[in-house]
Structure formats: C-alpha cells, structure tokens
Amino acid sequence: SEQPVAGDRWLRMQSRRTIEGGTVTICNDITELKRDAQALAEARDAAHAASIAKSQFLANMSHEIRTPLNGVIGLSQALAKTDLSGEQREMLDLMQASGRTLQTLLSDILDLARVESGKLELTEDAFELAGAVREAAQLYAENARDKHLGFHIDIDLDDGMWIRGDVVRLKQILTNLISNAVKFTSRGFVGLTVQRSLDQDGSPWLQFTVEDTGIGFDAATRNRLFSRFEQADGGITRKFGGSGLGLSICRRLADMMGGRLDCESEPGCGAAFILTLPLAQCEAPTRNEPVARPQSTPEDQRALRVLVADDHPTNRRVIELILAQTPVQVVVVDDGAQALEAFRTQAFDLVLMDMQMPVMDGLTATQEIRLHETAMGATRTPIVMLTANAMPEHIAAGRAAGADRHLAKPFNASELLAIVADPCAMMREEV
C-alpha cells in the first residue's frame, strides 16, 4: 500500500510473512517517484491543452480568413463576367490565381487542424482507380506543358479495377505530389506510375510513384521534409513558395489509410515519392437507372425566390452579384431573426443561410424554419449553410439543424449557380 506521511512525503508499505510466523514490513520512500509521476501528468495535460488550443486557433484563423477571401474571390468572379480591357483581364487573372493559392493554403490549414484534433475521418467508398488517378494527374498536365516538361501517366493495372477507400484524400495526396514535382522541375519530365506490389507478408498493395528530374534534395533534407512548415531551405521557399504543410498532411493521410509515404532523391538528380496503400479491391457498384424528370409547367418556370441571410455586407453583395446572372428574385437579410421573419411572411424556393450571425445564428434560424414548416404543413424548402465554418462538426451541426447542404466560403460562383439552377436536387441526392 502507499500512504502519505508528514512533510509531504510518500511511503510504500509491503508486509511479508516469515517462515516462523512473524511479519516483516518493508518501507520504501517513493516521494520522488510520486513527484515525477505528477510532473509527467501535468506535462501531458498541458501538452494536450496546447494541442487543442492550437487546433482551435487554426480553425478560427481559417474561418476569419475565409470570410474576406470569399469577398475577394466572389467579386473577381463577378468582375470576370464584365467587359474588360486586355490589361484589366491580365490583372484579374493574376488576382484569381492568387485567390486560388490562398484557398489551397486555407485547405491545408484546415486539414492540419482536423488531423491533429483527430476529427478528420476517412470514407470507405467504391471508386474506379484508373479514372480517379487520371483525374488527379490531369489537373497539372497543363502546368507541365507550359514549362515544356514531359508528362506521362503509366497505370499498370487491370482495366476497370474498382477499390474501396477515400477517393478524395487519395486525389489530395497525388495532386500534392504531382504539383510539387512540376513546381520543382525546370526541364526533363514528371511521371506518375501505378502498379501492384506485395507487402512483406504477401498481402496485395498499390504503389504510386511520382518521379521528376527536378532539383532534388540531400539526405538531411529528406529527414525533415515531412515535418510541418518545412521545405528544402530558405532559398527554395523564396523561389518556389508554398507553406510546407502539404507533405506533412499527405504522410498523415497515408498513415490513416494504413499505408506509408516515403521519398528518394539526390541533389540535382530529381526525386521520387512513393505512396503505398493496402489494395482493397471490390466489385463495381450497380448503376441505378436515371429517374425521368417531370415536364416543367408554367408554375415551375417562374423566377425562383431566394432568401439570403448573411451579416457581412461584402458577402451579401457577392451573392447578389453572382445571382444577378440568373433570373431569380433575391431577398437579403442581416441575421437569423430577420431570415425567420421573412420566411414566415413570404414564400421562398431556396434559403442561403450563414452560420455565425448576431441576434439569431443560422443554426437556430434553420431549426425554427423547419419547425414553422412542420406546424404549417408546408413543403420542405432547401436550405444551404453558406458559411466560413468548414470543420466536420460544423457540417454535422448544419445537418442536425435541418440544412440540406453545406457550402464553405470561399465558394466558386459555379457551385452556387448549380445549386440555384436546381435547388431540389440536393434533397433528391439525400434519398
């Protein structure tokens, strides 16, 4: 047994019976062990609290940056629809390219927050492997051609192979590796090879190899390349840019998939990044016959009425400018309470609801709208949470409140226009 004694000290008491029938008690002073254990526990708790605080900070920064960035990207997309001179068009193209770079960085920050908080979940869906690989690779084929690089994709697999896994995260890893290869290669080629392999125990694996003839790196750089915010050196960072988050996230994703991500390189001789994942082959899913769409009626052809609730003036204007490209009637309000009042007194075909607003937040307003529909026996109106809150728990909260879709800011104009073109499609997809 252990017990405290005077002077804030601890003793461990152990009693043993002797052959003669007596008792021997051994006392050990374990005060230092207790203090060490307490210090370790406090350090563990402090590290856990710091990790939570850091992840929360990253998520908050993602939200705070997304809101103004949505205005920059949305307004530039609206401006692209107007008449511009050649010089103005060039400046706008540069603005939009910078916006896409910021979007990528925000996605990396959000992924880092999700991974480190343990809130990133992988899906297990069936997908056709070769098609997914080609889709990921072709995103950077044009960039390679612009740099006069050879670009090849070699998929050494059976035609029409279907596997189970998270196709979005697989594409994320491949596009990150390919974009890096193109970025760090000035001449020569970039290639992606996919083939089967066997693990040490003979189980089937997939091996994805992205190789290039770029600048390469030495062994010291290789050892820290997958650390967060790391790149080859300061000169590389200045010349090529980037946050240094991508490879760290990719390795974590590979680990979560039960695989591994490694690399081989020498300075000036290019590099090869090898992703190996367990092969979970499956049958192609049965395709459902398309459902015939009913013929439209004059009532269906009337202008859609869209309710927009957002407390940020710039974001409200962005939505108005984008929707001005379509024959819709838009009603704009500043908070959830106004949205609820407008919904109770007017008919709408679609609601675009921000999540964080004064007076009444978007989640509460969505819940109240659903209660009003139930009380009035009204048809369910599609509601989209149009918000800078993009963490999984935010998406789940929107669904729980009654939203049909979550569209994170900054969004592309085409995404919003597709929703407005057929708002009821969101609810059909849920069936």
Query: What is the residue-wise DSSP string for 323-343?
Result: HTTSSEEEEEESSHHHHHHHH
Write down the H helix ranges in 204-296: 219-224, 234-240, 246-256
User: CA 43, CA 40: separation in Å to the nearest integer?
Assistant: 5
Contact 165, 257 (CB under 8 A): yes
pLDDT score recorded for residue 152: 94
Q: Could you tell me the two tokens for 261?
A: 């991500």
- pLDDT greater than 70 at residue 298: no
Interval 83-129: pLDDT, tens: 889 888 888 887 787 777 777 777 777 777 677 666 677 888 899 99
What is the tens place of the pLDDT at every residue in 240-272? 444 456 788 889 899 999 999 999 988 888 999
- Provide the 8-state DSSP code for 140: T
> Residue 148 corresponds to which tokens in the numbers above?
């006069």
- The 10s digit of each residue's pLDDT in 318-371 is 888 888 888 899 999 999 999 999 999 999 999 999 998 999 999 999 999 999
Give, as one character, the DSSP assignment of residue 373: H
**pTM of full prediction above 0.85:** no
- The whole-angstrom separation of Cα 275 and Cα 139 is 19
Q: Which of 66-75, 227-236, 275-284 has the highest mean pLDDT?
A: 275-284
- 239 pLDDT higher than 60: no
φ/ψ of residue 353, rounded to 5: -120, 120
Tens digits of residue pLDDT in 362-420: 999 999 999 999 999 999 999 999 988 877 788 889 999 999 999 988 888 888 888 99
- The per-residue pLDDT for 293 is 47
Q: Cα 95 to the chain's mean position, in Å?
A: 23
Measured at the alpha carbon of residue 421, what is the angle toward residues 420 and 427, in degrees to the nearest 5?
75
90-94, 148-152, 276-280: least confidently modelled range: 90-94
Residue 427 pLDDT grade (very low, low, confident, very high; cuts 50, 70, 90):
low
Name the nearest CA neighbour of 413 among 335, 329, 320, 333: 320
Residue ranges with strand state E in 37-171? 125-128, 150-156, 162-165
Q: What are the distances in angstroms from CA 218 to CA 23, 138, 187, 215, 240?
A: 67, 29, 19, 10, 18
Give the number of other Cβ atoms within 10 Å of residue 78's Cβ: 18
